[in-house]
Amino acid sequence: MEFKIIASDGKTSARRGRLELLHGAVDTPCFMPVGTQAAVKAMTPEELESLGAQIILSNTYHLNIRPGVDVIAEAGGLHRFMGWSKPILTDSGGYQVFSLCDLREIDREGVTFRDHLDGSLRRLSPEESIRIQRELGADIIMAFDDCPPYPSDYDYACQSLELTLQWARTCRQSHLDGDQTLFGIVQGSVFEDLRLRSVEELENIGFQGYAIGGLSLGESKSLMFEFAQYTASLLPEEKPRYLMGSGTPEEIVSQIAFGVDMFDCTVPTRYGRNGTVFTPDGKMVVRNAAFKRDHRPLVEGCGCYACRRFTRAYIRHLYNTKEILGARLGSLHNLYFYFNLMAEARAAISEERFGIFQRDFLERYRGEKEATAI
């Protein structure tokens, strides 16, 4: 991996960069759509590429269960298996240590899961996580970590961080230097001293990039912003910074100003499947009755296929009759909105006007949302 900062905004910490990876380049700040099961829901790889996707995210834990890493390896790796030629980032399975807390037992060497599908026992350790990600062939792979829930008391967060740091050392030792880029994950819940220690220890271990984990887990938005900004300020400037799981448009624009380079979230496709689309004026619940006879596009002037071809009334009809096309069009529009937002942010950084861009975007986006109470 090579990472180069191309431009910086003069009045914020926003920066524009370029990641050179085995399967291509990624311009940052970037948004990574989530393809947990080797597919971004309702989208084909060709559609994703046409919308502007540069890199997508898949999940180690789930792919190891179905179809199995051996099947994917036989196909020539994850890129060939899913028909995606651009870069891929794989999560380590660490998030499932948090999300499947009722189905797992943790010890110092790893985690034993009870399979959520058939109840069988499955073991995932730092070494195994790295091995699976190596077999998948992702461009960026993540260290195995323990993500403490929110709220956590200080002692629990401290013990969790100790485990994450131990696993980070093991992951670094297991990682074979080569085409895959390994990111370490900063934990420490909402305690500044733990976050600082996490960054210092991870830098000592030595990673090619750093992720900010343990946020967007139920804490207030103000607290999430506070610790995203604080953690980003601690990370080395010359390495890419990835904020995990935070992904509404207003969150992304605000956190770009903190110097974050990479984002992922299920929000655009999840909302798109359920009848909510993003617009410059906030969210719009297009399945609502108010749009039954609204024959305008979702967003006037939007260049996406859904807006160029169809009306709000028609797309509402698709949702309310449970036609699959509705979910596809909503997801397509939302991803187009996200990728276009990233492109506008990059241009604003290059022109040293990101602060103005951020202010104008948030004023319009939040104002309409409050006025319509959606």
**One-letter-per-residue 3-state SS of 258-327:** CCCCEEEECHHHHHHHCCEEEECCEEEECCCHHHCCCCCCCCCCCCCHHHHHCCHHHHHHHHHCCCHHHH
Give the CA dihedral 213, 172, 30, 9, nearest 10 degrees.
90
Strand 15-21 and strand 2-8: the pairing is: antiparallel
Instruction: State how far the Cα of 235 lies from the Cα of 185, in Å rounded to an integer.
Output: 11
Coil/strand/helix, residue 353: coil
pLDDT at 374: 27
> Would you say how long the chain is, in residues?
374
**pLDDT averaged over every residue in the chain:** 96
pLDDT at 214: 97
pLDDT at 177: 72
pTM of the predicted structure, to 2 decimals: 0.96
Instruction: State how far the Cα of 96 lies from the Cα of 105, in Å rounded to an integer.
Output: 12
Do the Cβ atoms of 235 and 216 come closer than 8 Å? Answer: no
The single-letter code of the amino acid at 84 is W
Q: How far is CA 364 from the centre of its chain?
A: 24
Coil/strand/helix, residue 24: strand
Q: Which residue has the tokens 């220690």?
A: 197
Q: Name every residue whose Cβ is closer than 8 Å to that of residue 360 and which is 6 or more positions away in sequence.
A: none
Give the CA dihedral 45, 282, 7, 51, nearest 10 degrees.
20
pLDDT at 135: 97
Coil/strand/helix, residue 177: coil
Handedness of CA 39, 43, 48, 51 (dihedral sign): negative
Q: Which residue is catalytic, options 9, 145, 261, 264? A: 264
Q: Which stretches of the chain drop beneath a pLDDT of 50?
A: 369-374
Token readout for 370 is 């409050």
Token readout for 19 is 């990641």
pLDDT at 3: 98
**Residues in a beta bridge with 4:** 18
What does DSSP assign to residue 14? Answer: -
What does DSSP assign to residue 125? Answer: -
pLDDT at 373: 31
pLDDT at 179: 87
Is 91 marked active-site?
Answer: yes
Q: Which residue is catalytic, options 91, 139, 146, 261? A: 91
pLDDT at 176: 85
pLDDT at 367: 87
Classify domain 2-265 by CATH number: 3.20.20.105
* CB-count exposure of residue 30 (10 Å: 0-12, 13-18, 19+): buried
Do the Cβ atoms of 69 and 63 come closer than 8 Å? Answer: yes
Looking at the chain, the domain(s) classified CATH 3.20.20.105 span: 2-265
